[in-house]
Amino acid sequence: MDHLRSEKMCFVQLIIPAESARLAVTYLGELGLLQFKDLNEDKSPFQRIFVNQVKRCSEMSRKLRFFNDQINKAGVKSSVRPAMQPDIDLEELEAKLREHENDLLEMNTNSEKLLQTYNELLEFKMVLSKAGGILASSHNHAAPAERELDEHIYDKEMDDGNAYLLEQGVHLGASENSGVKFVSGIILKSKAMAFERMLFRATRGNMFFNQAPAGEPVTDPISGEEVEKTVFVVFFSGDQAKAKILKICGSFGASCYPVPEEMVKQRQIFREVSGRLADLEATLDAGIQHRNKALESVGSQLRRWTIMVKKEKAVYDTLNMLNFDVTKKCLVGEGWCPIFAKSQIKDVLQRATLHSNSQVGIIFHEMDTIDSPPTYFQTDKFTNAFQEIVDAYGIARYEEANPAVYSVITFPFLFAVMFGDWGHGICLLLGACVLILREKKLSSQRMNVERKPAVMHILLGSLKSVIPILLEWTQVGVEVDLSYPF
Q: What are the pLDDT digits (tens) for 208-249?
A: 888 888 877 877 777 777 888 888 888 888 888 888 899 999
Instruction: Give the residue among 57, 54, 35 at the shortest CA–CA distance from 46.
Output: 54
Long-range contacts of 26-29 (CB under 8 A, 24+ apart): 26/311, 26/315, 26/352, 27/348, 27/349, 27/351, 27/352, 28/345, 28/348, 28/349, 29/311, 29/314, 29/315, 29/318
Give mean pLDDT, residues 100-106.
93
Task: Please state the domain extents for the chain.
Answer: 381-474
Give the list of residues 6+ apart from residue 463 with CB closer than 8 angstroms, or none: 427, 431, 486
* Whole-number Å distance between alpha carbons of 60 and 100: 12
Alpha carbons within 13 A on the beta-carbon side of 374: 12
* Whole-number Å distance between alpha carbons of 57 and 67: 15
User: Looking at the predicted structure, is the pLDDT value of residue 371 above 90?
Assistant: no
* Coil vs helix vs strand at 331: strand
* DSSP for residue 262: S
Phi-psi region of 86 (alpha: psi -120 to 50; beta: other; left: phi over 0): beta
pLDDT of amino acid 151? 38
User: Looking at the predicted structure, is the pLDDT value of residue 16 above 70?
Assistant: yes
pLDDT of amino acid 58? 93
* Whole-number Å distance between alpha carbons of 191 and 356: 70
Q: What is the pLDDT of residues 412-447, one digit of tens each?
A: 777 777 766 777 778 888 888 888 888 877 776 665
Residue ranges of E strands in 54-197: 180-188
* Whole-number Å distance between alpha carbons of 249 and 131: 16
* Whole-number Å distance between alpha carbons of 147 and 356: 94
The H-or-E segment that residue 72 falls in is helix 51-74
